[in-house]
Amino acid sequence: MLLQAAASGGLALLAGCGFALRGTADLPFSTLYIGAADTSELGAQLRRYVRNTTNTRIVEDPKEAQAQLQILQETRERSILSLDASGRVREFELRYLFAFRVHDGKGQDYIPPTTIALKRDLTFSDANTLAKDSEANLLYRDMQNETVQQVLRRMAAVESKQPS
């Protein structure tokens, strides 16, 4: 009985603070073509997210699409951030750059060319190189997921169905 009251109280607090699970994102386009989706892992992920979380239909022919998401660049970079006293790498900086634009296929932009740049720091040790490579891949995957979410939020924020 006490446990049930505590759970009910917790739910009431969550409801009162405005917490809500993410629902479907409403994109202002009824149809969307995602360019380079077959060759890019991120393009395929974008396609999956749009198909599963929005009311927008993905089309295979750009001529059928009300909007086209064009992937301009997707780059992963790794640079040395710091060295230890003996000159060995201590930290890397991982960067993920993604450039895209959303247009109507006739030269008018819904979202002009935009770059999303994310970075993460990775401590490094020669003793566990394989584990650090796996960690770097996980960080890149996390940055890719964050990029997908940012692209969807930016497309959802497009004010009208008319390009700018």
Which domains does the chain possess? 25-156 (3.30.160.150)
Model pTM greater than 0.75?
Answer: yes
Exposed/middle/buried for 147, CB within 10 Å: 0-12, 13-18, 19+? buried
Q: What are phi and psi of 50, to 5 degrees?
A: -65, -45
Span 95-117, average pLDDT: 94
Q: Judge whether residue 40 has pLDDT over 80.
A: no
Which pLDDT value is given to residue 14? Answer: 62
**Higher-scoring residue by pLDDT: 108, 6:** 108
Which pLDDT value is given to residue 131? Answer: 81
Span 36-62, average pLDDT: 85
List the one residue out of 111, 116, 112 whose CA is nearest residue 156.
Answer: 111
Question: How large is the C-alpha radius of gyration of the chain?
Answer: 21
117 and 97 Cβ atoms separated by less than 8 Å: yes
Q: With pLDDT > 90 as the criterion, what percentage of the chain qualifies?
A: 48
Q: To which H or E segment does residue 6 belong? A: helix 2-16
Helix, coil or strand: residue 138:
helix
